[in-house]
Amino acid sequence: MTLLNKEPVKRVEKLLKEFDPNQRVIILDTSARTAIEAASSLGCEVGAIVKSLLFKTENSFILCLIAGDKKASLNRIKKILNLKDVSMASANNVKNVTGYTIGGVSPVGHLNKIDIFIDNSLKRFNSLFAAAGHPNCVFKINFIDLKKLTNGSIEELVE
């Protein structure tokens, strides 16, 4: 079974094609589980890798899209949301809420509706690469299209 036949990857590919028929999932020979591995596999800067990080809030979850060379700031996220209690989601939460396993969490195609926040530091790259449902699958997109595709809010989310 090829990676393109895996349900999570098919879910991403369907949404990408609906958004732009020229979009496609890129299958890598090497893992893109971490931003460093993905950048190495793709021959790009680590910052051009979009990390999809799920956070648990007091009563829901949010997904933050962060540049691979940056670290999410819990304090900034709490301030944006005006909440006191925000933490990283567990691996089980990630799987149950998004339908993806850690290392393959896509910015789109989640099993549940999630508010999405995009860090403005991603703007500095012409091309971005985000996970496409599996640690060996990514897709290429620019910042403006990432915002349109995810309907995400642009914020300052990093330290």
d(CA 83, CA 75) in angstroms, rounded, equals 10
What pLDDT is recorded for position 93?
Answer: 97
Overall average pLDDT of the 29-47 stretch: 93
Q: What Cα–Cα distance (Å) separates residue 19 from each residue in 15, 22, 136, 154?
A: 6, 9, 22, 19
Residue 18 lies in a domain: yes
Domain residues for the domain of 107 are 3-153
Residue 1 has pLDDT above 60, yes or no: no
> Taking the model in full, what pTM does it have?
0.96
Q: CATH code at 129?
A: 3.90.960.10
Given the DSSP bridges, would you call strands 128-131 and 49-56 parallel, antiparallel or unpaired? Answer: parallel
What pLDDT is recorded for position 81?
Answer: 95
Residue 159 lies in a domain: no
Share of the chain above pLDDT 90, in %: 94
* In contact, 70 and 121? CB cutoff 8 Å: yes
d(CA 158, CA 2) in angstroms, rounded, equals 36
The model's pLDDT over 97-143, given as tens digits with 9 standing for 90+, comes to: 999 999 999 999 999 999 999 999 999 999 999 999 999 999 999 99
Residue 158 lies in a domain: no
Overall number of domains in the chain: 1
The secondary structure element, H or E, covering residue 141 is strand 137-141
